[in-house]
């Protein structure tokens, strides 16, 4: 079924598959919890948009992630300013408290649908003289074009109830959690250049990780 296509009613599903109503309701509830379908009061159940699959093993920019899956990325720059690094930001970026850092707030879209809300802090050497077009396109491409080699990132993953501004931007209810990823990215020479707090809509975003033995 196509995204946003309406599923048959519970009664039709019972008649088609021969299961009891509690079984059908449990199946629909499981599909909703997995983000495969969504429900609208008094309207029924509908097929969800395909979730973006993101590997925690790779370090790609947001546009690279989406274009690799055939989707169209776009970004809205909500805020940009040069601020003094807090104690936490300074520690993450190996700076001194009060040093200048570039602060960006961005809302990321997949095919026009908001899926990620980011707070990012950059060391000045990484994006100095970058334009607003760079901030909404690909900072990583800008850095690489200037000869900087991006190497790796450290990430921690959590689930939280988001602040109101994030819930509204991602079109979530107040009681719906987001995936929060805290990331510090490094150049090949070991310098940290980015500290980002990323908030992802779990209905639109699926994290993957490979494990080896």
Q: Which CATH number fits domain 52-208: 3.40.190.10, 3.40.720.10, 3.40.1410.10, 3.30.465.10?
A: 3.40.1410.10
Helix (H) or strand (E) holding 15: helix 10-17
Burial of 201 (0-12, 13-18, 19+ CB in 10 A): buried
Give the span between the Cα atoms of 79 and 7, in whole angstroms: 40
Burial of 101 (0-12, 13-18, 19+ CB in 10 A): buried
Q: Which CATH number applies to 10-47?
A: 1.10.10.10
Among the listed residues 56, 121, 134, the one whose alpha carbon sits nearest the alpha carbon of residue 90: 121
Q: What is the location of CATH 3.40.1410.10 in the chain?
A: 52-208
* pTM recorded for the entire structure: 0.74
Per the structure block, which two tokens stand in for 166?
A: 């994030």
User: What share of the chain in percent tops pLDDT 90?
Assistant: 62
Dump pLDDT digits (tens) for 123-142.
999 999 999 899 998 899 99
Give the span between the Cα atoms of 110 and 115, in whole angstroms: 7
Q: What is the mean pLDDT of residues 166-172?
A: 93
Q: Which of 35-49, 63-77, 109-123 has the highest mean pLDDT?
A: 109-123
pLDDT(74) > 60 = yes
* Listed range (13-27, 53-67, 96-110, 174-188) with the worst mean pLDDT: 53-67
Strands 192-200 and 113-122, sheet pairing = antiparallel
Whole-number pLDDT of residue 111: 83
Burial of 18 (0-12, 13-18, 19+ CB in 10 A): exposed
């Amino acid at each position: 079924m196509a995204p946003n296509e309406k599923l048959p009613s519970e009664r039709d599903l019972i008649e088609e598959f021969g299961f009891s109503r509690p079984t059908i309701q449990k199946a629909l509830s499981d599909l909703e919890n997995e983000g495969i379908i969504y429900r609208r009061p008094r309207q029924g159940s509908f097929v969800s948009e395909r979730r973006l699959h993101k590997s925690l093993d790779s370090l790609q920019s947001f546009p690279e992630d989406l274009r690799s899956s055939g989707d169209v990325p776009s970004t809205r720059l909500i805020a940009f300013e040069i601020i003094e690094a807090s104690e936490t930001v300074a520690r993450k970026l190996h700076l001194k408290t009060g040093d200048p850092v570039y602060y960006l707030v961005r809302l990321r879209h997949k095919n026009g649908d908001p899926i990620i809300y980011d707070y990012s802090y950059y060391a000045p050497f990484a994006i100095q003289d970058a334009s607003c077009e760079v901030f909404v396109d690909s900072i990583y491409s800008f850095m690489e074009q200037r000869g900087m080699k991006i190497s790796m990132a450290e990430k921690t993953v959590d689930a939280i109830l988001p602040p109101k501004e994030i819930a509204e931007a991602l079109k979530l209810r107040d009681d719906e959690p987001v995936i929060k990823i805290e990331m510090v990215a490094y150049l090949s020479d070991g310098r940290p250049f980015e500290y980002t707090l990323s908030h992802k809509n779990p209905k639109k975003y699926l994290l993957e990780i490979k494990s080896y033995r």
